[in-house]
Structure 1
Amino acid sequence: MTRVLGIDPGLNTTGYGVIEAVGSKFTLIEAGIIRSGAKRTIQARVNEIYSGVKEVIEDHHPDLLSLEQLFSHYERPRTAILMGHARGVICLAAAQYALDVVHHEPTRIKKVMTGNGRADKRQMQLAVKMQLGLATVPEPSDVADALAIAICGHTLGRGSELEKLARKS
């Protein structure tokens, strides 16, 4: 059994999801969001994210932290810089608990979860619902993304068949 914490980093809203994996069977432990006040200073905002991630780690003792890789569109470099702040404090929290961190690109996560590297939010929510055997789709989409990141953290981190299929495509 492996416990994985998946995180969808954002400066305003950071989604997180904790799952347990036994082979290819996944169980949802907890999921939610960490919000930082948009009108607060950058220091206060990254501190809120850091504190929230530390609390989740302390409460659930994951074996692995899976984090969405930094990406940027050329027309929005500021977004990448802000996301980098969030990723930095998440990695710091992981380091303080000697927690291994794996990083996955958003298109890779989408490809593994849906077969389509350009899947939309709804497709991702449905894929997560199916993988975890949930009655409803996880809301908001930040939570669904974090759960997908956790699932891929286990799946891709273990060199599974899904990873091999993703590479061939």
Structure 2
Amino acid sequence: MRILNISSCAAVLAGLLLLTPLSAAQTAADGTTNTTAERPTVWAGLGLETIVPFGSLAVSAPVGRVGALTVAPRLGVDGLVLLGSIVSADLLLSRADTGWYGGPSAGLILTGKGGWRAGAVAGYRSRTRPDLGFFVEGGVRYTVVRGVLTSHEPVPAGQSARPAEDLALPSPTLRLGLTYRF
């Protein structure tokens, strides 16, 4: 049973981005305005999860600060070659709009019998132009894919087949991509 398709995921992401504060300027303690604060960003990339290639598209927007760190939720869709679509959510913490970032990560597998993943991501991002940039990201997640392991043993007459079991594994991730800031 499919819960959402890619077009409805994109609509949800666009709606969440519109509901997020879009202010790029922040006032510093001395009264000056900081125009290099984080802005809503589109992230597009390619990568590997464990050994499975995937493509991803996500949006993030700053929602506030915790001490010296900017908090920016990132919502996206990953398309894994063997698993299908995964809706992901990351809570990115960073000191600036370029440099190191990281935070917790979670996702729901929407295709097949479903599943979930949870973990953390960390990366480095920079800009090549005021609005265009790149990122390199790694992560470790615990992934559970429902009902994919089946037994190939013959079933004796009169007995029912064993139900498929869940596949659970730690899944390292490497992702490279481009960013576009609004």
TM class, shorter-length: under 0.3
Which has a greater percent of helix?
Answer: 1
Instruction: Please tell me whether Structure 1 or Structure 2 has the larger radius of gyration of its CA atoms.
Output: 2
Which has a greater percent of strand?
Answer: 2
Choose between structure 1 and 2 for higher RCO, CA contacts under 8 A separated by at least 6 residues: 1
